[in-house]
Amino acid sequence: FRVYILFLLGFMSGLASGQGSRFMNAKNADATIGGVRVLQKLMNVSETAIYWGYLNLRAEKLCLPFNSPEDLVLVRLACLGRVQDQKGYESLRLAWLALGERERSSLTDHFLADGIKEQAFNLEFLPNCVANAKANPLIGLTCLLDVLTDLLACLRTKVAMNPNLPKLVPVDLSDMGEFISAVRNRFVFVTCISRCQLKFRQGRCRIEMTGGNWGRATDPDSDLTSIAYTLQDLVIKQQRMEERLNR
């Protein structure tokens, strides 16, 4: 076990053949040391306690709330998005609050599912998707979370049709991550799930963006796409207003 931890530490540090580390700095080291300390208790407590114990540790380090289900989701998103300070967390929180109630509920169910007793999806390369969405001024984090809501709906439908799949399904988002970096049309990205293919094999799923998306990645924002997105935005805002009035 200790050899595994040592290997993991070296792998995460991005060792540069004796020339230092490509990744490890003071801030990243603090998070990594906290993770190693939590893993030292792996033989004595449950895997659930290990996981949420680490997230609680990160919340304390960043002085973040850790009480409600949405608090827990935001801390998990902060880890996935490599948030390292209060400013980064506030940006994340504002992006979350810009979502509708339906989207927040769907994402909360996803990020709190344990994959043991509840069906869950391990979204591989999600940190890369988050980083590319924040770096692309046409996309942003709120837009990415909206699209993830559509993706989760499709995944849940597919899983319901195939009860033989494991409780935890790995989902490869590497192609989506590259697409987020390349796309130059917001409406094309907002509607991209309708042109994706979900390829299941040996209990895993790969999201393929297909030529239907890649062929439109560099489409300029035309009057038609601008009008289409504006109408969609108005519908979303009306739904969110109705949600607030019905509370």
Q: What is the pTM of this model?
A: 0.81
Between CA 181 and CA 131 the distance in angstroms is 9
How sure is the predictor about 13, in pLDDT bands with cuts at 50, 70 and 90? low
CB-based burial, 210-226: b 16+ in 10 Å, e otherwise: eeebbebbeeeeeeebe
Between CA 227 and CA 233 the distance in angstroms is 10
Directed axis angle between helix 174-182 and helix 126-135, to 10°? 0
pLDDT in tens, 120-156: 999 999 999 999 999 999 899 999 999 999 999 999 9
Mean pLDDT score across all residues of the chain: 85
pLDDT in tens, 60-85: 988 899 999 999 999 999 988 888 88
Q: Is 165 helix (H, G, I), strand (E, B) or coil?
A: coil
